[in-house]
Amino acid sequence: MNLQLLQTRLAYTFRDTGLLQQALTHRSHSAVHNERLEFLGDSILNCVVASILYERFTNLDEGDLSRLRANLVKQQSLFEIAQKLELSQFLRLGEGELKSGGFRRPSILADTLEALLGAIFLDTGFDAARDVIRAFIIPLLDTVDPATLGKDAKTLLQEFLQSKKISLPTYNVVATHGAAHSQEFEVECLVPKLNVQVFGRGGSRRAGEQAAARLALEAAQAALTKSPSSRKSKPRAAQLKLGIGTIQGDTASAPTEQPGNTPA
């Protein structure tokens, strides 16, 4: 296990490598594990993110700031940051967790990221932990629209469809790609009433759903700009152009044309 590689990705070098080892250790591995560090890191993360939001969004009130922070520090966001760090290759898991695929479980990866932040705080202090947090939160914030309070694509799609009294979308995993430790999931999102069928890809099922939801929201909004008569006269086979979006972190790529109505 090349811990120097992880430290390079974090842009932080531990003085006490024992803290680093502990932060990467799941309770299934040994009695000395990372749960207390996770508790500490969670508090530091919330504090730093609150400070960043306070500085950046001067017009948001306390309630909106709280909702935005909650969307930034939720498990899915932390999981996607952990994926960028390729944290799964550094985890210390018990045999049972290894066999059951714990190295790609969002909860374990998100918790480990928080434990790392707690370990950095104990190793050097608050300023070092703050710098590491800012390095991955600021790029995330650059993709956030404060008008939506950081809501993810699935939530925005759901709210949009509900406002139009349209049934909620369905999501289906249609394919997986890559090796077990770095799988990519291809997910279909369907909104039958609007003849919307799109595909998204991501490093987890949730990330794939988010990518698909983002494309589906764009397609649903486009469909509703057309007159009702034109939608009714259009045969079901002539669906909106299919696309594939990819989420790496919190961003989705632009749609790319698919050759047909079924995923590759």
- Point out the least confidently predicted range of 69-73, 136-140, 244-248: 244-248
Mean pLDDT of the residues in the chain: 84
Lowest mean pLDDT among 93-107, 156-170, 227-241: 227-241
pLDDT in tens, 226-240: 745 444 434 333 333
pLDDT for the residue numbered 181 = 62
Q: Is 111 within any annotated ligand binding site?
A: yes
Cβ contacts of 214 within 8 Å, gap of 6 or more = 153, 157, 200, 245, 247, 252
Per-residue pLDDT at 77: 87
pTM for the model: 0.66
- 159 a known binding residue? no
Q: For the chain, which domains are there?
A: 3-145 (1.10.1520.10), 153-252 (3.30.160.20)
**The pLDDT of residue 161:** 94
Q: What are phi and psi of 138, to 5 degrees?
A: -60, -50
DSSP state of 180: G
Q: What is the number of other CB atoms lying within 10 angstroms of the CB of residue 40?
A: 17
As a whole number, mean pLDDT of residues 102-118 equals 93
C-alpha of 71 from chain center = 10
Catalytic residues: 42, 114
- Kindly state the average pLDDT of the residues 174-193: 86
Q: How far apart are CA 243 and CA 194, in angstroms?
A: 15
Which has more pLDDT, 246 or 163?
A: 163
Instruction: Tell me if 114 is assigned to a ligand binding site.
Output: yes
The band of 99, judged by pLDDT with boundaries at 50, 70 and 90, is confident
In one-letter notation, the amino acid at residue 55 is E
